[in-house]
Amino acid sequence: MYKNLKNTDVFKKRVLVRVDLNIPIGDNLKIDKSEIWRLEAIIPTLKYLIKQKSKIILISHLGRPKEKKLSLKSVCNSLSKLLRKKISFSETLNVKKTIELMNFGDILLLENIRFDSREEKNSDSLAKELADLADIFVNEAFSVSHREHASIVGIPKYLDSCIGFLFEKEIDELNKVLKNFKRPLVAIIGGNKISTKIKVINKFLNISDKVLIGGALANTIFYSQGVDMSDSLVEKIDFNIDLDNKKLFLPQDFGIWDNNVVKYSDKVQGKALDIGPKSIDLFCSAIKSAKTIVWNGPLGLYTQKPFDKSSLEITKAIIKSKAYSVVGGGDTVEFLRKIKKDKKFNHISTGGGAMLNYLANERLAGLDAL
């Protein structure tokens, strides 16, 4: 069983904290202010460590350095403002002397760990190098803890380790829709790629009362059954899902873009970009009686009107149902924050892939490492 932060002695210790500061940075190197909530989520852990007079060393990644080399300097400034405390920054891992000279309660942020190619290779040498900087390791990066990277699974081999407050909250909340839920339990699963959601669909077909499928996931399922989906986005892959399961609810009609005209039909000619009004009614009816709801992935092209209609109506139905609700996935959270309804849900997860991984398998590489 993993340890949590409250049960770990961090008083006046050097504490290495893996956080997730991976938030969108514009070409002007300014942070997308709508994503500041991700930084706010780790503040309680940092304040606790400051109060415990720890020397705090932060590790994170930002973006995919192979595509665009992004420094954490700008994020460092934003986090410092939120915390109302100076955070030092180092471009190298050669910081033993710096840590030695730190006052208790000081914070040092290391440069984007993915600049070091050993991180994604889960290099033992990098894990040892990082572990050598501290006495305790705290994993506060739930959102990347499905990755077998050196800063996630390597460091715990060499240090006494635990999870932070945010990580602990994520697991507790997801367990409420996996183990401690009230029935009826309804899962709403959308998005683009069915390949990333096969396991979680099967999991909820097993434990929930209803599974509502929308988005391009539904397109792919219909395509696999020989239905002509015209120009719609589909994944041409084989997958193993019991499509005859009576808990599975698929769209009955679609919102379609065809020759610059929006129409609604049960047959697709053009691009299916949303579920249609019949489907929205069907899904909202299922939601109405739910006591527990988990939602991952928008049901239509939420960035373009009127194909955000299903996601809007589903949002309203969940809020009205007063069911215990847990939502995750980058696109879904972005949509809810855009329409300012994110605070109406019981829990908004900071993880997309990690959330799916934990829901499907009830485990994460980062947790296993602890």
Of 143, 167, 191, the residue that ends a domain is 167
Residues 135 and 273 in one domain: no
CB–CB of 72/111 below 8 Å? yes
Q: Domains in the chain: how many in total?
A: 2
Residues 315 and 195 in one domain: yes
3-state SS record for 63-87: CCCCCCCCCCHHHHHHHHHHHCCCC
pLDDT over 90, % of the chain: 92
Model confidence at 27, in pLDDT bands (50, 70, 90)?
low
Of 105, 140, 167, the residue that ends a domain is 167
Residues 162 and 194 in one domain: no
Which listed residue (121, 278, 341, 353) is catalytic?
353
Which listed residue (193, 247, 278, 344) is catalytic?
193
CB–CB of 106/84 below 8 Å? no
Residue 330 known to be catalytic? yes
- Looking at residue 63, its pLDDT comes to 87
Closest alpha carbon to 297 in 353, 222, 233, 365: 353
CB–CB of 227/252 below 8 Å? no
d(CA 242, CA 196): 16
Residue 193 known to be catalytic? yes
Structure tokens given for 71: 């420094």
- Looking at residue 28, its pLDDT comes to 65
Q: Which is it for the CA torsion 116, 118, 123, 124, positive or negative?
A: negative
Name every residue whose Cβ is closer than 8 Å to that of residue 315 and which is 6 or more positions away in sequence: 335, 336, 339, 341, 344
Residues 201 and 81 in one domain: no
Model confidence at 24, in pLDDT bands (50, 70, 90)?
confident
Structure tokens given for 91: 């471009």
Residues 65 and 209 in one domain: no
The answer to whether residue 258 is domain-embedded is yes
Model confidence at 68, in pLDDT bands (50, 70, 90)?
low
- Looking at residue 29, its pLDDT comes to 64
- Domain, as residue range, for 151: 5-167
Model confidence at 135, in pLDDT bands (50, 70, 90)?
very high
Residues 120 and 19 in one domain: yes
pLDDT tens by residue, 338-359: 999 999 999 999 999 999 999 9
Which listed residue (3, 73, 278, 330) is catalytic?
330
The answer to whether residue 367 is domain-embedded is no
Which listed residue (18, 38, 118, 197) is catalytic?
38
- Looking at residue 67, its pLDDT comes to 60
Q: What is the CATH number of the domain that holds 279?
A: 3.40.50.1260
